[in-house]
Amino acid sequence: MSAGAELKPLSLRREGDGLAIDWSDGVSTFVAWRTLRTNCPCASCNEKRQKPADPFKLVSEKEVAAGAPEPVRMSPRGRYAYQIVWNDGHDTGIFTLEQLRQLSTPRTN
């Protein structure tokens, strides 16, 4: 089965510093929280990624306090996506199932 319309996650759970997913096609994948945070699909993060990196960017106190990216909450959105609320307060990223599959890597047991 490809990452098409029928593909669904059967279970999702935190494992260490990332998210383990068992998919309906029998594949198990893992994606680090940092990978998800870096690839947040929301409009403002998309726009930031299209700009050249700012070498003089000051890290905010909130970002420093948050430390490594961690989800505070991750909730289903209808039948097609999950929304993550991050420990830095960012909460507008809605990850479609296809994006979760693309960003994660299959595990070999």
Partner 1 sequence: MQPGSAPIPALQGVRYLVAVASGKGGVGKSTVAANLALALQMHGQRVGLMDADIYGPSIPMMMGLGHVDPQTTAFPVEKYGLKLMSLGFLPDAGKGVLLRGPMVAKWVATFLTQINWGDLDYLLIDMPPGTGDAQLTLCQTAPLTGAVIVTTPQDVSLIDAVKALNMFRQLKTPVLGVIENMSYFVGDDGKRYEIFRHGGGLKLAAETGVPFLGNIPIDPRVAECGDAGEPIIRHHPETPVAQAYLTLAGALMHRAAKAMPGGLPEVQL
Nearer to partner 1, 45 or 81 (CB): 81
Distance CA 60, CA 70 (A): 17
**Residue that has been written with the tokens 């409009």 in this structure:** 43
| Least distance CB 13 / partner 1 (angstroms) | 4
Give least dist CB 109 to partner 1, A. Answer: 19
Rg (CA), the chain: 15
CB 100 within 8 A of CB 93: no
Closest distance to partner 1 from the beta carbon of 52 (Å): 31
* Beta carbons of 8 and 91 less than 8 angstroms apart: no
| Residue ranges in contact with partner 1 by CB under 8 A | 5, 8-14, 19, 71, 73-82, 94, 97
| Residue 60 or 75 with smaller CB distance to partner 1 | 75
